[in-house]
């Protein structure tokens, strides 16, 4: 009798432990989890963010190397691909280093690119932005000097670009409100002291964006992501509290997800900088206040490091850029190894030389 009781109790004890371990295992997050991102299904929690596109032709056309690179990324297990910057204006400061939206065969090539990554069930967003607003002989105009007509031009150009990507079969766009892009300055009190309805309060500084988001939402089926600085580090600039207010307003007006970044992100995130990543805390604070997906941008390079962030915080999505420049297929190795580390040494040569290829290569350049 006692033996039976002992056996039953042991069995219950075993079951309880098995249940606890199973529960812990199932709630543990892994970067290769299939997961929801708004209405989209992702193959993993890794978001690839692009920067420069140096492999395009001078005319803007995409080369076989670019299609190869995108196919390698899509096949690697990435969750979502955000393209290199599509520069809104041809004479902008970064336009010659990246993609533009106005060239012959744009529609056919972007359609081909979207179709290619969709074969691997990977969604693709176009990163849209510009750094300077130039008008006739006025270069790099200050936020306060733009007329209402200039603002309408920016809105119209952004809406037309969004419609083009919608027609091309892209799943979404990322609007550049972060780093040092023009729109990041427009929403920032350090740069915007306009006296009209587009200056003053946080809502007023955001109106230019909110108005165009409404038109894009009403006229396309695109997912809208905004890349946003958590803070800018200047005395009169953006604080985390204001970023949280902006995040709430963006969500309220239809933005589907955010990516959190900071000014001078590549310069900050190097191997030599061993400080705790301040964007982790900032991203968590933002997540607490809104109900749309939020991507942590920058600073991640190792599989264990990423899983540690996923499981010790409320962050569900991590963006990576330079590791994909070093090796567009690195996630394949990570899935096999289980303890992967990017071979990018964060030397930033690709950043300074404005290329989409790595300068520290030991392997065949034809692979890139």
Give SS3 for 206. helix
CB of 48 to ligand SF4, least distance (A): 13
Q: How many residues does the chain have?
A: 368
- Looking at beta carbons only, is 52 or 86 nearer to ligand SF4? 52
CA–centroid distance for 354 within its chain: 18
Q: 51-84: string of b/e by CB count within 10 Å (b at 16+)?
A: bbbbbbeeebebeebbbbbbbbbbbbbbbbbbbb
CB of 123 to ligand SF4, least distance (A): 24
- Looking at beta carbons only, is 284 or 333 nearer to ligand SF4? 333
- Looking at beta carbons only, is 103 or 351 nearer to ligand SF4? 351
284 phi and psi angles, rounded to 5 deg: -65, -40
As a whole number of angstroms, the distance between CA 295 and CA 31 comes to 13
CB of 295 to ligand SF4, least distance (A): 20
CB of 271 to ligand SF4, least distance (A): 10
- Looking at beta carbons only, is 226 or 325 nearer to ligand SF4? 325
DSSP string, 162-204: HHHHHHTT-SEEEEEESTT-HHHHHT-TTT---SSTTSSSHHH
CB of 327 to ligand SF4, least distance (A): 8
Select from 78, 94, 103, 104 the least CA-distant residue to 128. 94
Contact positions toward ligand SF4, by CB under 6 A? Answer: 322, 325-326, 344-350, 358-360
- Looking at beta carbons only, is 139 or 349 nearer to ligand SF4? 349
- Looking at beta carbons only, is 111 or 354 nearer to ligand SF4? 354
- Looking at beta carbons only, is 189 or 298 nearer to ligand SF4? 298
Which distant-in-sequence residues (6+ apart) come within 8 Å of 242 by Cβ? 189, 202
- Looking at beta carbons only, is 127 or 220 nearer to ligand SF4? 127
CB of 342 to ligand SF4, least distance (A): 8
CA–centroid distance for 311 within its chain: 21
HEC profile of 10-70: HHHHHHHHHHHHHHHHHHCCCCCCCEEECCEEECCCEEEECCCCCCCCCCCCCCHHHHHHH
CB of 341 to ligand SF4, least distance (A): 13
CB of 187 to ligand SF4, least distance (A): 29
CB of 197 to ligand SF4, least distance (A): 43
> What is the number of H-type helices and E-type strands within the chain?
13, 11
Q: 185-219: string of b/e by CB count within 10 Å (b at 16+)?
A: bbbbbebbebeeebbeebeebbbbbebbbeebbee
- Looking at beta carbons only, is 198 or 330 nearer to ligand SF4? 330
As a whole number of angstroms, the distance between CA 287 and CA 289 comes to 5
């Amino acid at each position: 009798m006692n033996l039976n009781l002992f056996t039953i109790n042991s069995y219950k004890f075993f079951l309880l432990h098995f249940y606890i371990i199973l529960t812990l295992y199932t709630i543990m997050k892994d970067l290769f989890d299939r997961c929801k991102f708004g209405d989209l299904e992702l193959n993993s929690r890794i978001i690839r963010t692009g920067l420069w596109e140096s492999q395009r032709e001078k005319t803007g056309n995409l080369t076989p190397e670019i299609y190869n690179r995108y196919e390698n990324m899509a096949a690697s297990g990435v969750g979502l691909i955000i393209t290199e910057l599509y520069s809104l204006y041809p004479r902008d400061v970064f336009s010659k280093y990246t993609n533009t939206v106005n060239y012959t065969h744009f529609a056919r090539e972007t359609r081909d690119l979207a179709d290619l990554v969709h074969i691997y069930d990977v969604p693709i967003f176009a990163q849209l932005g510009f750094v300077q607003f130039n008008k006739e002989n006025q270069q790099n105009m200050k936020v306060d000097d733009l007329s209402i007509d200039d603002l309408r031009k920016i809105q119209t150009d952004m809406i037309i670009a969004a419609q083009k990507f919608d027609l091309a079969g892209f799943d979404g766009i990322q609007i550049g409100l972060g780093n040092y892009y023009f729109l990041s300055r427009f929403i920032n009190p350090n740069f915007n002291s306009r006296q009209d309805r587009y200056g003053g309060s946080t809502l007023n500084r955001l109106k230019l964006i909110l108005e165009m988001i409404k038109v894009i939402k009403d006229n396309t089926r695109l997912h809208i992501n905004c890349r946003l600085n958590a803070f800018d580090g200047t005395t009169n600039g953006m604080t985390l509290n204001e970023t949280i207010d902006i995040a709430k307003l963006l969500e309220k007006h239809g933005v589907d997800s955010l990516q959190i970044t900071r000014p001078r992100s590549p310069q900050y995130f190097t191997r030599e900088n061993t400080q705790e990543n301040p964007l982790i805390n900032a991203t968590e604070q933002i997540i607490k206040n809104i109900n749309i997906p939020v991507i942590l941008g920058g600073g991640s390079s190792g599989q264990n490091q990423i899983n540690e962030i996923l499981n010790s915080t409320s962050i569900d999505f991590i963006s990576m850029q330079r590791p994909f420049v070093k090796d567009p297929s690195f996630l394949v190795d990570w899935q096999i190894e289980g303890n992967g580390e990017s071979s990018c040494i964060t030397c930033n040569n690709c950043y300074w030389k404005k290329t989409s290829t790595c300068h520290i290569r030991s392997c065949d350049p034809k692979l890139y």
